[in-house]
Amino acid sequence: MPRQAGGKPGWQRTSRVAQPRQAAQQQTLKANAVVCGVGYWSGKDVRVEFRPAPPDSGIVFVRDDLPNRVRIPARVEHRIETPLRTTLSCGGARVEMIEHVLASLAGLGIDNCEVGVDQVEMPGLDGSSGPFVEAICAAGIEAQDASAAQLIIREVTRLGDEESWIEARPSRSDSLSLRYRLDYRDTSAIGRQTVQFELSPELFRRELAPCRTFIRKSEAEWLRSQGFAQRVTTSDVLVFDDEGPIGNTLRFEDECARHKLLDMVGDLALCGCRVVGQIASHCGGHRLNSELVRILLQEGERVQSRRRSA
């Protein structure tokens, strides 16, 4: 049995979790791409501009609305805990609900991008990564003269408890395989769902990017009573009662579990490099995803990318 890790209950790992290695070429956008929408939590209009970035620069959010245009690298060390979303803080500035933006970039294999925003919160759009992905693909993606660093999972790491956990394992392939089990036994319209995919840009765009955020009716009503989501309707997010989504139609029978995988892709992007291995989660969320990223980075060593010869 794996030993307890870090002295914290529910954390297990073996000695060497991950090792990095060099892989395919890095990628960025060919041109700028702009997406506009409304923040779910704040109700404010927001503009996001995806801009090409040089090799080895990674994904960086830029608060274009601030006088000093604070730059916030999309790395797990800048993550702060906020309910139901992923938030980064750096230099006295924050960006919130970034998981769908990061999932879009990581899912398409984009390593370097400057994401300019004029608000704290990213736009919710239809609750998926679909509009971001379509805008990025319309702008175009190009390879760069540098190899992309990969973090290779070599041993088993498991975090959480019986109710909610995430586990990383080695893979025999050079890809990232993701599995998620959702269990909403108290909401029969959602129920139990299990999905598994081997991630690729084509699969992400087709099978995961369109999958939307979901919430139970009682939770949605409570959020509204607290002053949140005042401009959000059942057309913008999947709101479930006992019969199913209210005023909406599922795009996939297991759309809820697929959306959890989409979130996982976004949170794993906080590694700052591509991940190779198998990751499975049972009822996990942003916190467990981020803690796994922290452990993988602690156990591995970052390898700087190498410029390719002409």
Asked about 286 being catalytic, the answer comes back as yes
pLDDT digits (tens, 9 = 90+) for 107-166: 999 999 999 999 999 999 999 999 999 999 999 999 999 999 899 898 899 999 999 999
Print the domain residue range for 138: 3-299
Domain membership of residue 310 (yes or no) is no
Domain membership of residue 240 (yes or no) is yes
Domain membership of residue 161 (yes or no) is yes
Taking the alpha carbons of 181, 254, 175, 149 in that order, is the dihedral positive or negative?
negative
- pLDDT class for 307, splitting at 50, 70, 90? low
CB atoms within 10 A of CB 224: 12
Distance CA 221, CA 240 (A): 11
pTM to 2 decimals? 0.89
Identify the CATH number of the domain in which residue 290 sits: 3.30.230.20
Catalytic residue among 100, 259, 282, 286: 286
Total of domains in the chain: 1
pLDDT digits (tens, 9 = 90+) for 6-65: 334 344 444 344 444 444 899 999 999 999 999 998 899 999 999 999 999 999 999 999
Domain membership of residue 70 (yes or no) is yes
Domain membership of residue 306 (yes or no) is no
